[in-house]
Structure 1
Amino acid sequence: MRLRPRAALAAVVVSAALVSGTLSGCSDSQAPSRWVTPSATPAGTADPRLAAVQLPPPLALPAGDLSVSSQQVTYTRQGRTLRTVVWTPDHAGRYPAILFSHGLNGTPEEFAPLLKSWAAAGFVVIAPAYPNTTRGAPSLDVYDVLNQPADASYVLGQVLAGPLGTHIDRTRLAAAGHSAGAITTVGLFTVARDPRLRAGVILAGSGLGVGTDFSGTPAALFFVHGDADPLVSYASGKATYDLVPWAKAMLTIPGGDHNDPYLRPESPAYGTVAQSTLEFLRLELYGDAAAKADLAPSVDLDSHL
């Protein structure tokens, strides 16, 4: 499909690049309190993107938080070095996995509080550092975001094929990302669809640059966006969400900025983001009915979620 204009992508990511250190925006004025879920895709549609999904049987959740260890591995795709941090539950067994993408001028370690909480709940978390958008890159290239969906798929394949793959249930894979990493994640369900993925989490992202032609086997998507985000507008995230033809939900953070709800545990919204994303991942990758029940009081869930 035709990609969105490069200039439009640059307008978002260049504005982010001008902020020193951790990306910042407006501060949260209050804890999140509302969810937005547009009406579901009409039943009986002939759209091939809505083909039936064959789900694996429910998987038993860990009895409690697990101890977690991390290791760093490095892969190379067509000359592109992909330093990757992997957080793994220390207990024996195979776990669902989440492929996480950082934002512009970010790092995997920057998201350690959130990613380690997912791992402690029974997920392997795979987080590459992208060669031209990570902090400390020799040359920050905003357009390189368009190459990152292919990088992400490659890293996932390498992890699954290597020793770390013995800890992963490859029938239960999801992708997640923040900001430019959320755009990367949308790309994994549009222009660079990875058929192994069955769920996605979009944190402060949109389809800018990677389009909204969602294709392949349906995958449930969960969007989280602050309505005061000064870098990736709430309207752009909502517009992308509206075009998702599959099961979906969106958490709107009133007064939420671009970073605090995802990066800073002291933020009023962080706890809600951490808990809601975890419940979504439990629902979609573990088949946990209780997780859906926990979400239901706060959101008018799409009937297919």
Structure 2
Amino acid sequence: MDGPLSTHPTDGTPDPGAAGPWRVGTRLGDAHDTRRARTLPFKLYLPDAPRPGGLILFSHGLGGTREGGARWLAHWASHGFAALAVQHPGSDAGVLGKGSPLGLRRALKAAMNPDELARRADDIRFVISRLGHDPRLPAAELPIGLAGHSFGAVTMQLLAGERRAGHPATPPDPRLRAVLALSPSARQPDAPPGLAQRFAHLRAPFMGITGSRDDGMGLSDISAANREQPYRHVPAGSDGPSKYLLVFGGGNHLDFAGQASHAEAGLFAVRREPAVFIGDLLAASTAFWQAHLAGDAAAARWLVTDFPGRLRPIDRFEFK
């Protein structure tokens, strides 16, 4: 493993927005799917906890790499979760080459298609199938959380039960416990079978995180308002709140990448410094995993009672 990413904090219960109690190391590797002749680079974040509270699988957005989500994954791992970022050939930084900005946008748009989405979902299924069999990967019995940014969020929505035209309905993995979608979306909301049917089967605890300026940045027809639609149409929790929507005022698309690739950052002229709401994003997402991946009832209560008081007037937090 590489060196630690965080250190032990002072005594007391850590703020979920601050570094957690565990040191974190990382490991790079490749998972090769011989059936599909497809090699998947990955980056594993492991806390030095006796047993991780669960495994969070992360899918990057268009033009990303296995370094995507690094800020989020390192933080969640410091709170005791193993985290695994998977790189998707065909919709990663490799499709961009060294073309003009217009050429790069065209390449990204071409990669955003149903076939690539299906390949991405199969990538995650393959990695899950290797848990407990590949010694470089975590144990198979860990509960699973799915997380992703943008096209990665859509990938995880599909794996969690979203029914999309052209994609066979496949039951979620029985180990799935929670889904966190950064910049989620519901493209073509008026197309059959309609949003109510598309999201009716996404029953796992779900958190959507987006911003008031989180549109498609010229790559798609997705508006900031559209990114709220998955939350609007997933069924409410049956035993207390388990579905959440967090909207940060002023947040733009790459604020939610966790670490944009060089290609992503170079393609879009957007804010370079960290967004002011990063601490609140880390706090909410960590409490979500603690509550619904690790089964921590105190974290579930904190999320709906104490967390809203941290937010700015221009932010919104909803749950059901």
- In 2: Cα distance, 1:217 partner to 1:239 partner: 13
Residue of structure 1 in register with 2:253 after alignment: 258
Match of 1:197 among 164, 176, 184: 176
Q: Which runs of 5+ in 2 are unaligned?
A: 1-15, 98-106, 164-169, 217-221, 238-242, 260-272, 309-316
Q: CA deviation at 1:209?
A: 7.6
Q: How many angstroms does 1:64 deviate by?
A: 4.8
Letter in 2 for 1:124: A
Counterpart of 1:239, as a letter, is: Q
Q: Tell me the CA shift for residue 136 of structure 1.
A: 2.3
Counterpart of 1:33 in structure 2 is: none
Query: Is the CA contact 1:261–1:270 (under 8 Å) kept in the aligned structure 2?
Result: no
8 Å CA contact 1:66–1:120 kept in 2: the answer is yes
- What percentage of residue pairs aligned between the two structures are identical? 28
Q: CA deviation at 1:208?
A: 3.0
2:302 to 290, 294, 299: 294
- In the superposition, the TM-score normalised over structure 2's length comes to 0.67
In the TM superposition, residue 82 of structure 1 has moved relative to its aligned partner by 0.9
- 2:249 is aligned with 1:271: no
2:187 to 208, 211, 218: 208
How big is the shift at 1:106? 0.9
User: What is the correspondence of 1:48-127 to structure 2 with a 5 Å cutoff?
Assistant: 64-77=20-33, 78-127=36-85
1:218 alignment counterpart = 203
Q: How far 1:169 moved relative to its partner?
A: 4.2
1:18-37 matched pairs, under 5 angstroms: none
Cα offset for 1:101?
0.4
Equivalent pair of 1:186/1:207 in contact (CA under 8 Å): no
Secondary structure at the aligned position of 1:276 is classed as: helix
**SS of the residue 2:275 aligns to:** coil
The question of whether the paired residues in 2 share the 8 Å contact of 1:222 and 1:249 is answered with yes
**Counterparts of 2:95 and 2:48, CA distance in 1:** 32
Q: Compare 280-289 and 159-168 and name the one that shifted more.
A: 159-168
Query: Hey, what does 1:52 align to over in structure 2?
Result: none
Which residue of structure 2 aligns with residue 131 of structure 1? 89
**Contact preservation (8 Å) 1:230, 1:257:** yes
SS at structure 2 position matched to 1:136: helix
1:300 to 1:109, Cα distance in 2 relative to 1, 3 A: closer
Contact 2:47 2:82 in 1 (8 A): yes
Moved more, 274-283 or 251-260: 251-260
SS in 2 for 1:198: strand
Q: Pick closer, same or farther for the CA change 1:164–1:214 going to 2, 3 Å.
A: farther
Q: Which residue of 1 aligns with 2:152?
A: 181
SS of the residue 2:155 aligns to? helix
Q: Could you tell me how far 1:179 is from its partner in structure 2?
A: 0.6
Displaced runs of 4 or more, over 6 A: none
Offset of residue 94 of structure 1: 4.3
- Please say if residues 94 and 169 of structure 1, whose CA atoms lie closer than 8 Å, have aligned partners that are also in contact: no
- What is the Cα deviation at residue 276 of structure 1? 0.6
Q: Give the counterpart of 1:159 among 117, 124, 131.
A: 131
Cα 1:104–1:90, aligned 2, differ >3 Å: closer, same or farther? same
Q: Give the CA RMSD over aligned residues.
A: 2.7
Which of 113, 119, 142 pairs up with 2:112? 142
8 Å Cα contact 2:183-2:256 kept in structure 1:
no
Higher relative contact order (CA closer than 8 Å, sequence separation 6+): 1
Give the total of aligned pairs: 240
What are the equivalent positions in structure 2 for 1:217-256 lying under 5 Å apart?
A: 218-231=203-216, 232-247=222-237, 248-256=243-251
- Please state how far the C-alpha of 1:261 moved relative to its aligned partner: 4.3
Check whether the contact 2:248–2:277 (CA below 8 A) recurs between aligned residues.
yes
Deviation at 1:154?
A: 1.1
Q: Is the 8 Å Cα contact of residues 97 and 168 (structure 1) preserved in structure 2?
A: no
1:37 paired residue number: none
